[in-house]
Amino acid sequence: MRGWMGKLRAFFIFSALTLLLTGCGVDNLSALKPKGYGSDLLFDLMMISIAIMLFVFIIVMAIYTFVLIRYRQRKGQEDFIPKQTEGNKALEVIWTVIPIILLLVLAVPTVQATFDLADESTKGDEGVTTIEVTGNQYWWHFGYPDDEISTSQDLYIPTGERVYLDMKSSDVIHSFWVPSIAGKMDTNPGDNDNTMYLEAYEEGVYWGHCAELCGPSHSLMDFRVIAVSPEEYDQWKEDMQNVDPEATAEAQEGQDLYENNCMGCHAIGDGAAGQGPNMTNFANRTKIAGVIEPSKENLVDWIVNPEQFKPGNQMPANLVSEDEASQIADYLMELDHSDVGASASEAEVEEE
């Protein structure tokens, strides 16, 4: 077992090092592999700044290396007293003015990009989607008020168009970050609502993180952005608007248990952000609770004792017995309301 683990780790290290050398990280997570408008813009801005900074660094290091080699004390030189130079006005002007120019070169695209990403000119227009994003300890609610759809953890968006996000938090400050599509934005409690937009170039499942410390399970507050073609997106909307929460005969008991124990917090179908994540289309989620591999076994373990997976989360442990949890799990695995994007999520799982 140990040797096998070691080999696996060696393999991981090797593959990760390879990735590192190409300077990127994992597809669909890394900010260095932009797959959307925002991240693309920011990648370019990063490259401009790195280029300017490297230019300065190389000059500094060239002078520095020369100074250290040339003027280091040599044997027999211990008593040498160098000329006590006071300074040089021309030099001072040079190393004041040149950095100012370089910074101006950087400041212009910075300001442009800042305003570009804050643009809300098309928000509210006909056919432009606005999604409500609500951060909660430790999950994400996604509401589509125009289409009367509510979901959580997996955010569906159409590719090739701008989608606005209206962002807030129901408890502490969180931060919504999908590195490969766009930068991040905080979700604040109270009236400090924020807006940002996403525009994905390609279909795919993109990894999202919470980026503002929000409690013990801060590092486990992951989510996905699932970008699908506009046609598939329309299909998904239609599916989600016609949700049928009724179970088949085998899972009927599970549904009853669900309605008695879980429904208070976990709605199915459209509705305001509840105490817990909305369960619509649960069977097609990429992960359970954002981080756990979807399998019935894991789902039962999660229902019985969520604390062991996500410390400090709000869902009570041992609300139901293991048998009951198993029946609830059967029911939840039936909540297969739309298979749009499902193929993409399977592809991602295989890739890992």
Partner 1 sequence: MSTALAQNRGLGAMIWDYLTTVDHKKIAHLYLVAGGFFFLIGGLEAMLIRIQLMKPDNDFISAGLYNEMITMHGTTMIFLAAMPLIFALMNAVVPLQIGARDVAFPFLNSLGFWLFLFGGVILNVSWFTGGAPDAGWTNYAPLSTVSPGHGVDYYVMGLQISGAGTLIGGINFLVTIVNMRAPGMTYMRMPLFTWAVFVTSALILFAFPALTVGLFLMMFDRMFGSVFFDTAAGGNAIIWEHLFWIFGHPEVYILILPLFGAFSDIFSTFSKKRLFGYSAMVFATVLIGFLGFMVWAHHMFTVGMGPIANSIFAVATMAIAVPTGIKIFNWMFTMWGGNIRMTAAMLWSVAFIPSFTIGGMTGVMLAAAAADYQYHDTYFVVGHFHYVIVGGVVFGLFAALHYWWPKMFGKILNEKLGKLAFWPFFIGFHLTFFIQHFLGLMGMPRRYWVFLEGQGLEAGNLISTIGAFLMAIGTVIFLVNVVYTSVKAKKVSGDPWDGRTLEWSIPSPPPHYNFTQTPLVRGLDPLWVEKSEGKKGMTPAEPLGDIHMPNASILPFLISLGLFIAGFGFIYQVDNKAWLILVFLGMGLTLGSMLTRSLKDDLGHHIHKEELEKDLEKGAGE
- What residues between 278 and 317 interact with partner 1 by CB under 8 A? 291, 311-312
- The whole-angstrom distance between residue 329's C-alpha and the CA centroid of its chain comes to 27
CB of 1 to partner 1, least distance (A): 16
Contact between 17 and partner 1 (CB under 8 A)? yes
Window 124 to 153, contacts with partner 1 (CB under 8 A): none
Window 200 to 229, contacts with partner 1 (CB under 8 A): 207, 209-220, 222
Contact between 13 and partner 1 (CB under 8 A)? yes
Closer residue to partner 1 in complex, CB, 98/234: 98
Closer residue to partner 1 in complex, CB, 18/242: 18
CB of 223 to partner 1, least distance (A): 13
Closer residue to partner 1 in complex, CB, 173/333: 173
CA distances for 261 relative to 141, 303, 321, angstroms = 20, 11, 11
CB of 328 to partner 1, least distance (A): 26
Contact between 6 and partner 1 (CB under 8 A)? no
CB of 13 to partner 1, least distance (A): 5
Binding partner 1 (rule: CB under 8 A), the pick from 31, 149, 163, 267 is: 31
Instruction: Write the DSSP symbol of residue 36.
Output: B
Report residue 269: phi and psi, to 5°: 90, -175
Q: How many C-beta atoms lie closer than 10 Å to residue 263's C-beta?
A: 15
Sign of CA dihedral 269, 237, 334, 280: negative
Two structure tokens written together for 93: 């002007």
Contact between 95 and partner 1 (CB under 8 A)? yes
CA distances for 348 relative to 26, 287, 294, angstroms = 11, 11, 13
Binding partner 1 (rule: CB under 8 A), the pick from 1, 3, 4, 72 is: 72
Contact between 347 and partner 1 (CB under 8 A)? no
Give the helix/strand (H/E) hosting 169. Answer: strand 163-169
- Distance of alpha carbon 141 from alpha carbon 264, whole angstroms: 16
Residue with tokens 């101006």: 104
Span interacting with partner 1, options 12-20, 146-154, 247-255, 339-347, rule CB under 8 A? 12-20
CB of 235 to partner 1, least distance (A): 30
Peptide bond into 71 cis (omega under 30): no
Span interacting with partner 1, options 99-107, 153-161, 240-248, 267-275, rule CB under 8 A? 99-107
Closer residue to partner 1 in complex, CB, 191/244: 191
CB of 70 to partner 1, least distance (A): 8
Closest by alpha carbon to 237, among 270, 213, 276? 270
Closest by alpha carbon to 324, among 258, 271, 231? 258
Give the helix/strand (H/E) hosting 253. Answer: helix 252-261
